[in-house]
Amino acid sequence: MADLDKCVSLCEKLRSNKVLHKHMQWIFLVITVTGSLLKEMQLLPDWYFNNKRNVLNVYFVKLAWGWTLWLLLPFISISNFYISKKDPVFVLQRLSSLLVGTVVWYTCTHFFVFIEDLTGACYESESMDVIKMDYLSKLACKKSGLFWRGYDISGHSFLLAYSTLIILEETALMSDLKNISQRPPESVRAIVSVFYIALNVLVVIWIWMFFCTSIYFHDFTHKLCGTSFGILAWYVTYRIWYQKPFSPGLPTRQERKVMPNQRRYSQNSD
């Protein structure tokens, strides 16, 4: 348990950086712009991470929302259960943020596919000399061994930015568990610590792969659109909607502007 506590403390210390905590959305935009410039200037050599078959891309990024969901689900459940003094209704309310996130992920990724189909065309080869008018979607084109070219909004940029911002929001209450009156049993604290550490490792992976995407893949506007969608989805939910009473709500540690009706609601709940 002592080793876990040291790892948790290290994660909290690294995350205490105000730039990382308050401006991560801008950091993603800066990475997108600078990474795209490096890509256009072709200053970086080919290496392991510009191969789409690299381990992190195949086993993590391709399943990014699954990893995010699988690790956040137990963390939010257990931490909010004890933070709320074992209130199951509050836990379910907080877990609904993952349902919202899943709807956002599903809607955006399918919208990106729709845009690529709408703006694209099927070609006989990568040289795009001969167009094949019989194919109206990327899926049908690819199944026939042909090449599709359309406006390919970066799903990687969207999902990696969105997942990172959500994890940072949801795990910010970790230090609160040390200060509540009814602290969880040591075994429970160990479980929460493991998930907290795993989520922080996942954040490092997501940011690293976001950087690799920026410097090696997609056109600039494709990445900028994807990143912007991820930031906008996070902002609309955590910075606007979740501030309202009828919402999944925010992790209790988050600083927020309390509206008059929220204050009355909180007092009544007490």
What token pair was written down for 266? 């909180």
In contact, 212 and 50? CB cutoff 8 Å: yes
| 156 counts as catalytic | yes
End-to-end CA distance of the chain: 33
In contact, 258 and 190? CB cutoff 8 Å: no
Residue that has been written with the tokens 């956040």 in this structure: 72
Active-site choice (21, 23, 110, 218): 218
9: CB partners within 8 A, 6+ apart: none
In contact, 84 and 181? CB cutoff 8 Å: no
Active-site choice (23, 110, 156, 222): 156
Alpha carbon distance 108, 225 (integer Å): 11
| 218 counts as catalytic | yes
Produce one character per residue of 79-105: b if its CB has 16 or more CB atoms within 10 Å, e if not: bbbbbbeeeeebbeebeebbebbeebb
In contact, 100 and 248? CB cutoff 8 Å: yes
Phi, psi of 138 (to 5 degrees): -65, -40
Alpha carbon distance 135, 161 (integer Å): 33
Active-site residues, by number, are 156, 218
